[in-house]
């Protein structure tokens, strides 16, 4: 029945192109797809014929959105589907609507977000009664899951497809995951560039949703048959049998982009940072933390702030002991009567960045010393750079320093609540080439934004979740990028940052093995002990770098003379 419908359409419309296996797509879309995107559309088609869902885990920037739209366009034209629900983060909802209107103007598109409750319900009913695509957010699913699963008469409503953009949001058994699973559909799909972020149980959760529990069994079964053997294969001393164990891709598609240069820049702590660091890890607070069973996350976050810039926690020196406390507080310009305040809301920190000199802001942080050195070079060579930080106050510091040094800067962060305001700033950066720097918080820059107008990217303070940084990087490194992309991750030697980075290498090896991106990933490190995190190794040497160099002796990474010169420039910094 399905094939005959396609045959009739092909005979009656010369504008339709057969992509393969009798899947017809209008030439206005088909002719603009890359070959791998056509393969993605056919992958959707094959799973439809098998009556299965799946995970499109393409690397970020490869156009998952357009592949979905192309598939839906062909399916709507063939009258094989009628009612589609797409769930996406708020930040990309406008982009989905825009792309659907651009690529498939014949499909009715409605949104279930914003406006009034009555207006949202009216849009829902229009799609349920008259066909089309309904766009909504994860927050709306949580608060309205019953409405999505019922028609206006109160009867169960089953969607043809539910497609979760950034679907790794349901990786954990949270309220969002529970509510999403309560909306019925014939087929369920997940789009994500990071199917594994922390552990393999997350991958099980995604497959369990798309396959409705029919593929990998229970979570307990999955751990026994898949996760535990894979973890053993990554440990030192694993047997050849364990090392050969591989998790096969079933009902998932994962493609990677072409090469980019991803550099880790090992930075030295300043004298002030070392003083603060030593003082805090020797404090009574840390000693109590190591003796207790509670989470040490707050203390680790403080160490991370010291590693980035001492001004991120202006009252941190209150935690120091002995004669160093008074001396350090004088250096920081902090009153002895200032109360200890470990609140994460950075706008409550007493001192203002505007009151500090540029010279002080640079010399107090090893990362700032390097960033200033790097940005002067990139500006001279006419590169445009996106700088990511997790901290709004860190962006304040970077903005003050670089602006006074002559860089033209635009900025998008969490304080910009209106999505259209963000879009206006991003459009200005794309169109006005005078601006050589765009500052963004990592969380804002991690979804649904294209910044191929830049070709250099700085991760000032790498996230403890490698998936977050990966999404940020792929705002620049994606389809449409015509220049070599260089990513600089700033990591302070000997600090908690370096220790967490080693953990990230381990996690990334797991992800590559499970998605088939690496045939034989190296087994780098065993798990770190908690006490090791609360220590400062030699701040002038990176043991991780030494170990990696021993395992991967230097080889020429590019035929580009320009890039090799840039590496030499960095090594001399």
452-487 per-position pLDDT tens digit: 899 999 999 998 777 788 888 888 887 677 788 999
Report the DSSP beta bridge partners of residue 165. 191
Q: Phi/psi at 434 (nearest 5 deg)? A: -70, -30
| pLDDT reported for residue 251 | 65
Domains and their CATH numbers in the chain = 16-233 (3.40.50.10810), 260-267+360-514+535-572 (3.40.50.300), 271-331 (no CATH)
Residue 261 token pair: 């240069």
| pLDDT reported for residue 9 | 46
Please classify residue 378 by burial: count the beta carbons closer than 10 Å to its beta carbon, then call 0-12 exposed, 13-18 middle and 19+ buried.
Answer: buried
Q: Is the pTM of this model over 0.75?
A: no
HEC profile of 314-337: CCHHHHCCCHHHHHHHHHHCCCCC
| pLDDT reported for residue 119 | 94
Residue 373 token pair: 């050195």
Half-sphere exposure of 487 (CA within 13 A, CB side): 20
**pLDDT-flagged residues of the chain (< 50):** 1-5, 7-12, 235-250, 315, 317-319, 321-325, 328-329, 332-350, 510-511, 513-528
CA distance 431 to 425: 10
| DSSP per-residue string spanning 395-422 | HHHHHHHHHHTT--EEEE-TT---HHHH
Long-range CB pairs of 329-338 (<8 Å, 24+ gap) are 331/272, 331/275, 332/272, 338/314
150-198 per-position pLDDT tens digit: 998 999 999 999 999 998 888 888 899 999 999 999 999 999 887 665 6
CA distance 481 to 263: 18
| pLDDT reported for residue 79 | 96
- Across the chain, mean pLDDT equals 81
Report helix, strand or coil for 136.
strand
Q: To which H or E segment does residue 180 belong? A: helix 175-181
| pLDDT reported for residue 557 | 53
């Amino acid at each position: 029945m399905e094939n005959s419908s396609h045959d009739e359409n092909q005979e009656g419309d010369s504008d339709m192109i057969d992509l393969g296996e009798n899947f017809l797509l209008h030439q206005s879309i088909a002719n603009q797809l890359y070959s791998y995107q056509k393969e993605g559309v056919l992958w959707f088609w094959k799973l439809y014929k098998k009556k299965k869902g799946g995970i499109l885990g393409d690397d970020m920037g490869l156009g998952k959105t357009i592949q979905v739209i192309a598939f839906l366009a062909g399916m709507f034209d063939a009258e094989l589907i009628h009612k589609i629900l797409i769930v996406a983060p708020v930040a990309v909802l406008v982009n989905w609507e825009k792309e659907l209107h651009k690529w498939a103007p014949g499909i009715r598109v409605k949104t279930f977000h914003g406006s009034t409750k009555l207006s949202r319900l009216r849009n829902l009913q229009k799609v349920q009664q008259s066909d089309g695509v309904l766009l909504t957010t994860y927050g709306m699913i949580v608060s309205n899951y019953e409405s999505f699963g019922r028609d206006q008469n109160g009867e169960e409503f089953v969607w043809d497809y539910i497609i979760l953009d950034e679907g790794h949001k349901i990786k954990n058994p949270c309220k969002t995951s529970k509510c999403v699973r309560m909306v019925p559909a014939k087929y369920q799909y997940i789009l994500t560039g990071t199917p594994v972020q922390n552990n393999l149980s997350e991958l099980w959760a995604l497959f369990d949703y798309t396959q409705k529990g029919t593929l990998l069994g229970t979570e307990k079964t999955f751990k026994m048959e898949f996760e535990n053997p894979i973890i053993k294969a990554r440990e030192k001393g694993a047997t050849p049998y364990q090392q050969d164990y591989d998790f096969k891709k079933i009902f998932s598609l994962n493609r990677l982009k072409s090469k980019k240069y991803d550099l880790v820049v090992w930075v030295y702590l300043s004298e002030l940072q070392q003083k603060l660091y030593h003082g805090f890890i020797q404090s009574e607070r840390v000693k109590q933390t190591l003796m207790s069973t509670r989470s040490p996350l707050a203390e680790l976050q403080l160490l991370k702030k010291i590693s980035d810039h001492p001004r991120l926690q202006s009252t941190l020196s209150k935690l120091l002991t002995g004669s160093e406390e008074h001396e350090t507080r004088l250096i920081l310009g902090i009153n002895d009567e200032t109360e200890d305040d470990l609140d994460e809301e950075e706008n409550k920190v007493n001192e203002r960045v505007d009151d500090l000199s540029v010279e002080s802001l640079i010399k107090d942080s090893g990362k700032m010393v390097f960033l200033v050195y790097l940005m002067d070079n990139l500006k001279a060579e006419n590169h445009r750079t996106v700088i990511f930080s997790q901290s709004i106050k860190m962006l304040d510091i970077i903005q003050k320093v670089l602006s006074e040094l002559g860089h033209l800067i635009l900025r998008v962060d969490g304080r910009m609540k209106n999505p259209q305001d963000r879009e206006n700033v991003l459009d200005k950066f794309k169109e006005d080439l005078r601006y050589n720097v765009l500052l963004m918080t990592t969380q804002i820059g991690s979804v649904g934004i294209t910044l191929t107008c830049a070709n250099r990217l700085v991760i000032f303070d790498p996230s403890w979740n490698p998936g977050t940084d990966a999404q940020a990087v792929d705002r620049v490194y994606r389809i449409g990028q015509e220049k070599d992309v260089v990513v600089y991750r700033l990591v302070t030697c000997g600090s908690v940052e370096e220790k967490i980075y080693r953990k990230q290498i381990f996690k990334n090896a797991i992800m590559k093995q499970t998605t088939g991106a690496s045939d034989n990933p190296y087994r780098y490190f065993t798990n770190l002990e908690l006490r090791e995190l609360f220590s400062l190794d030699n701040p002038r040497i990176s043991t991780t770098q030494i170990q990696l160099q021993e395992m991967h002796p230097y080889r020429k990474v590019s035929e580009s003379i320009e890039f090799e010169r840039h590496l030499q420039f960095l090594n001399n910094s």
